[in-house]
Copies of this chain bind each other. A is one copy, B any other.
Amino acid sequence: MSHVVTVNPRILAMEYAVRGPIPQRAAEMAQAGRSIIPCNIGNPQGLGQRPITFYRQILSLLEDPVNLERLGRAPSDAGTYPADVIEMAGEMAEGSRTGTGAYTESAGFKFVREAVSRFIDARDQLDSEGGLASDPDQVLLTDGASGGAVYVLEALISGPQDGILVPIPQYPLYSASIARCGGVLVGYHPDEESGWTLNRSILERSLGEARSKGVKVKAIVVINPGNPTGALLDVASMKQVVDVAREWDLAIIADEVYQENTYGRPWTSFARVVGNEKIPLFSLHSVSKGFYGECGHRGGYLEIRHSPPVEGTNLTLTEVLLKQASVNLCPNTMGQFLVHLMVTGPRKGTQSEELFRRERKTILQDLEAKATMIRDSFSKMDGMECFGRTGAMYLFPRLSRLPSGVGDFDYCMALLEETGMVTVNGAGFGQAEGTNHLRVAFLPPFELIEKVMPRWVEFHNRYV
């Protein structure tokens, strides 16, 4: 193979979402000693967010069973470790039976899947509504939420005419995975000016076009709160999604990894809106976002409801997903333990509880303050319009008054050169024909953003 090799065209077709010219230029500038404000990535702990103490103390003990046993016998040696931490670490080690170093079931530790189901029932108050309790055997622990999304897409896309309905703009995981599976990405366009809401006609327009091209749409992806839009979806829109899913025979893939990032506004799960309707629902959650921000640990879960039977087999779709998971042996154990901590947390009245509440509050208030500050500055920028209720970790304003011949890429590049502000231009996510946007992740330290915003305002009004 001294000469060229042919490679899977689907892999070549995937968009390389990671390294665009903008972050590349930012890296050069940082190299040259210029100060950079990296608002381009949703990587909280990469930008100075501190981990939750309670989580890390427990993970630390789980990695050293000898020390955990020692402290269990002699809590006085515990140093900085509260008794409730040692107790819960001990319970989790026992629940796992094999600790952090052994393969687990391919679906993940049973005691963690049970905790996930309890969390969902408490969150959605569905158990009280008859037969809707979450089933631990319909929960798969995954390496981050993306692991679960990839399983579902790869199973559902059974041929080149199978389509997946995906919001535009969208998170590149979906476009890349659909390309990789050889399916058709069918875009739908939430109504930006009414706050990125949805209605039947928006969805049916896309479904009709797809059908006219012979594309069989199998599922609809909804990201709530949105990425990149950051918008929190209203229940009316969710109900329309469920209506359309029922009538067009779609599964719903609910990407709900930002469910804790709603900044005081109520959030409703798709499990709650679907209720006992027989619509297959795949909901995704992750330890990477929220106030935990544990991206590096690659922990997440996929919960399945109304798992359909698979044509030509005696399997349900859940059994197919388990088979896919078994090829990867198991999700990493530390991610699994973190999912357990995400869905439980410290017990009421424990020493850890107060610190935990304080840390959570500080992180979420800080995120909200940064979002508010940036949005306020937008109002000082000529033709900078930001729609929707703030959620997730992003703002996605529309650039309505760019000079002719100038696109959002040029704007973001110029913004970077002048202010050191790193953003992602809207074209990177897809956007409505003829519009221009940028995505700002409000994660860098408050002071950094506060310092740069006046310069951004000045730059903007000069530029447009």
A-to-B contact residues, CB < 8 Å: 1-9, 11-12, 14, 16-19, 41, 43-46, 51, 53, 56-57, 59-61, 63-67, 70, 77, 79-80, 98-104, 106, 143-144, 146-147, 150, 154-158, 162, 173, 176-177, 180-181, 218, 245, 249-251, 278-280, 293-298, 306, 308-313, 317, 320, 323-324, 326-335
Separation in Å of the A363 CB from the closest CB of chain B?
Answer: 12
**B contact residues around A17 at 8 Å (CB):** 326-327
Which 3 pairs between the two chains have the least Cβ-Cβ distance?
A46-B102, A296-B333, A45-B101
Are B101 and A296 in touch, CB under 8 angstroms? yes
Known contacts A14-B324, A150-B327, A334-B334; 14 further A-B pairs (Cβ under 8 A): A1-B280, A1-B308, A4-B308, A6-B311, A7-B311, A7-B313, A8-B155, A11-B324, A14-B323, A43-B102, A60-B60, A60-B61, A146-B327, A297-B334
Are A330 and B296 in touch, CB under 8 angstroms? yes
In angstroms, Cα B458 to Cα A328, docked, is: 38
Are B98 and A4 in touch, CB under 8 angstroms? no
Are A308 and B3 in touch, CB under 8 angstroms? yes
**B contact residues around A330 at 8 Å (CB):** 295-296, 298
Are A218 and B64 in touch, CB under 8 angstroms? no
Are B60 and A80 in touch, CB under 8 angstroms? no
Are B63 and A59 in touch, CB under 8 angstroms? yes
Query: B5, B66, B101, B310: which contacts A80 (Cβ < 8 A)?
Result: B66
Are B4 and A293 in touch, CB under 8 angstroms? no
Are A332 and B143 in touch, CB under 8 angstroms? yes
Separation in Å of the A81 CB from the closest CB of chain B?
Answer: 8
Are B332 and A296 in touch, CB under 8 angstroms? yes
In angstroms, Cα B342 to Cα A16, docked, is: 31
Complex A-B: 22 CB contacts under 8 Å: A1-B250, A2-B249, A3-B309, A4-B308, A4-B309, A4-B310, A7-B317, A11-B155, A12-B310, A12-B313, A16-B326, A17-B327, A44-B102, A51-B99, A59-B64, A67-B79, A70-B79, A98-B296, A103-B295, A143-B143, A147-B328, A173-B327
Question: A296 and B100 in contact (CB under 8 A), knowing A63-B63, A154-B11, A327-B177?
Answer: yes
Query: B45, B173, B311: which contacts A4 (Cβ < 8 A)?
Result: B311
Are B57 and A64 in touch, CB under 8 angstroms? yes
Are B101 and A294 in touch, CB under 8 angstroms? yes
Are B60 and A7 in touch, CB under 8 angstroms? no
Query: B59, B80, B177, B327: which contacts A14 (Cβ < 8 A)?
Result: B327
Are A332 and B297 in touch, CB under 8 angstroms? yes
**B contact residues around A162 at 8 Å (CB):** 6
In angstroms, Cα B56 to Cα A161, docked, is: 49
**B contact residues around A323 at 8 Å (CB):** 11, 14, 16
Separation in Å of the A295 CB from the closest CB of chain B?
Answer: 4
Which residue on chain B has the smallest CB distance to residue A105? B18
Are A143 and B328 in touch, CB under 8 angstroms? yes
Question: A5 and B324 in contact (CB under 8 A), knowing A60-B63, A79-B77, A297-B100?
Answer: no
Are B7 and A310 in touch, CB under 8 angstroms? yes
Are A102 and B295 in touch, CB under 8 angstroms? yes
Are A326 and B18 in touch, CB under 8 angstroms? yes
In angstroms, Cα B306 to Cα A156, docked, is: 37
Are B101 and A8 in touch, CB under 8 angstroms? no
Query: B101, B181, B278, B293: which contacts A295 (Cβ < 8 A)?
Result: B101
In angstroms, Cα B334 to Cα A150, docked, is: 22
Are B67 and A154 in touch, CB under 8 angstroms? no
In angstroms, Cα B345 to Cα A214, docked, is: 58
**B contact residues around A181 at 8 Å (CB):** 8
**B contact residues around A143 at 8 Å (CB):** 143, 298, 328, 332
Which residue on chain B has the smallest CB distance to residue A335? B332
**B contact residues around A43 at 8 Å (CB):** 102-103
Which residue on chain B has the smallest CB distance to residue A4? B311
Question: A66 and B53 in contact (CB under 8 A), knowing A1-B279, A5-B308, A296-B103?
Answer: yes
In angstroms, Cα B150 to Cα A147, docked, is: 14
In angstroms, Cα B60 to Cα A251, docked, is: 42
Are B297 and A327 in touch, CB under 8 angstroms? no
Separation in Å of the A132 CB from the closest CB of chain B?
Answer: 17
**B contact residues around A7 at 8 Å (CB):** 155-156, 158, 310-311, 313, 317, 320
In angstroms, Cα B246 to Cα A3, docked, is: 11
